[in-house]
Every structure is written in C-alpha cells, then in structure tokens.
A and B are shown apart, each in its own frame.
Chain A
C-alpha cells in the first residue's frame, strides 16, 4: 500500500541535542512538507520541498533544518536552536506544489510526538 511513513512515533530530546525525524513516502510525489502541530494552534508549515535537492522555508523554519537527497525521503532535524520543540510533527506530500496539486489530496503521515527531557 502506498503512503507516508514517519518514525519514530515518540521521540525525546535532551537539552542541547539535535534530533532527526524521518519521513518516507512511496507515492512517487514530488512535493513534501513538514508541519508542526501545537494544541489549539492548528498546523504550521516548517519547510517544504518541491523537488529533490531543493527546499524552502515555511512560516516557522527557525531552529529546524531539512534535506531532500532522495525523492522519497524528507528528514527533519530539530536543532538545539529550537527552544520550544515539544509538539506533534506531521509530514505530508502531494503530487506537486502548484495548482495541479489542489486537484489531488495532501497525504499525511501518522506523526511524531517530540518531547523534551
């Protein structure tokens, strides 16, 4: 079955530590996204990528970094510069970024809950 796989489901970060969240998709989608979800705040876009080796900052990119070395993979690193990392992180994908994508669905993974020790 095609879909998006996020791992781990739960992750704990120590102060000063960088942690990486994995996101893999086998939908052959060009575009991938990372969202942060905080209670009562909805979803906020961290980074997005239209194509391999290219990515752009979203609305809340500070303290995060990404890479897109393969079409199917879009890992997110939460760096020590992110002072409030506790949140639910969602990865998503779509066929592409542009209007054609709107005629299709935005597919979501099942999320990673990151907490600070």
Chain B
C-alpha cells in the first residue's frame, strides 16, 4: 500500500519568506511523486512531478521539490513567497500503475501574510 503524509494542515509565511511544505511518502515500489496546487473553488493544477529522473525537480511559479529516498520525503520549497502563492497544496504518490492508483495527501493550506 502507498500513502502520503503532509505535515501541517495550515502554514503561514510572510511575503518574501521561504516556503517549505512537508510531504513524506510510503511506497513498496519506487514511486512517482507529485505536487498539485488548488486555488479556492477550483480544480487542481500540477506544480511538479518526480518520475525517477533528477532528484531535484523544478516546477511552475518558482517552486521546486527534492526527492530524498533515505528520508522518504518530497518537500516543496520556494525561496520567496508571493501573495499569489496563497492556496492549498496537495502531495500525491503513485506506484507507477497509472493515475487510478494515485493517492493524495490531506493538503496544506498556505497563507501568505503581507
């Protein structure tokens, strides 16, 4: 079985500060990992994904994530938060058998304080 744990359902940062959203995964096989962003009353958009190429993955809007097998982590970071980054972020894991096998985390709401 696979699972993801997102630490912190709510995270607040000041505008311009570092954003760090934590995700730890569990998978019996080498996983694919994803971060999605959801703005209020909208669907999810893919930020970035890890599919066994480079362990440091760069995504849209200045976000990046690093796959660390030894720590079973895939934390999302951005050096400088912008007001427009306020949204809910979901980490997800797949055991590579397709999207019907993707497991989503419970989400982290990011608040950016002016």
B57 at the interface (CB under 8 A from A): no
Q: List 29 A-B contacts (CB under 8 A).
A: A31-B99, A31-B100, A33-B99, A40-B9, A42-B90, A42-B104, A42-B105, A42-B106, A42-B107, A43-B90, A45-B100, A56-B100, A90-B43, A90-B44, A92-B44, A98-B98, A99-B97, A101-B98, A101-B99, A102-B96, A102-B98, A105-B46, A106-B44, A106-B99, A108-B43, A109-B43, A111-B41, A111-B42, A113-B41
Interface residue ranges of A15-32 to B (CB < 8 Å) = 31
Contact size range, A:
20 to 34
Within 8 A of A (CB), among B73-92: 90
Interface bits B41-76 vs A (CB < 8 Å: 1, else 0)? 111111001010000000000000000000000000
Residues of A within 8 A of B102 (CB): 45, 106
CB-CB nearest in chain B for A50: B100
Query: What is the interface of chain B mostly: helix, strand, loop, or mixed?
Result: loop
Question: How far apart are the CA atoms of A42 and B102 in the complex, in Å?
Answer: 12
With a cutoff of 8 Å between Cβ atoms, the chain A residues found around residue B41 in the complex are: 9, 110-111, 113
Question: For B90, B96, B100, B106, which residue has the most chain A Cβ atoms within 10 angstroms?
Answer: B100
Q: Are B43 and A4 in contact (CB under 8 A)?
A: yes
Closest to A97 in B: B98
* Number of residues of chain B lying within 8 A (CB) of chain A: 22
Q: Does B24 contact A (CB under 8 A)?
A: no
